Amino acid sequence: MALRNWVLIGAVAFGAWQWQHMSSRPDDASDEQLRQLAASIKQGEVTIYTTTHCPYCAQAKSWMTQYGFTYTECDTEVSATCASELSALGGNGVPYLVVRGHHMRDGFDSDEFVAALRT
């Protein structure tokens, strides 16, 4: 029972940490700067691999939509092609993003996302 409680506490703490990184805007970017950056993105420059029931995927998509970023979603539960692509990329979890050739293997982080778009 004690181990189960520690696992639950760890999962909640990790989720809170993830949410903070996904829901905040980067320290060096205003809302207006993020919207301007989003306007410069062309179709196909951002791909997010997701699953239907992934809460972190939903949060990442919500953050990108909030600022107007264009992205291509590839749901690995719905599309065998998407699942094969993710596997070929070496991805073993979602969300997995490819941002102008930069691979975000460890989930979505707004700072990393913006940095990848600025390079």
Contacts of 59 (CB under 8 A, 6+ apart): 18, 19, 22, 23, 108
Q: What is the CATH number of the domain that holds 30?
A: 3.40.30.10
Cα separation, 108 vs 110, in Å, equals 6
Range of the domain at 72: 2-118
DSSP per residue, 12-26? HHHHHHHHHHHHSPP
pTM: 0.77
**Residue 50, beta-bridge partner list:** 75
Structural domains of the chain, count: 1
Q: What is the pLDDT along the chain (119 residues), one digit of tens a residue?
A: 555 545 444 444 445 444 444 446 566 678 999 999 999 999 999 999 999 999 999 999 999 999 999 999 999 999 999 999 999 999 999 999 999 999 999 999 999 999 999 98
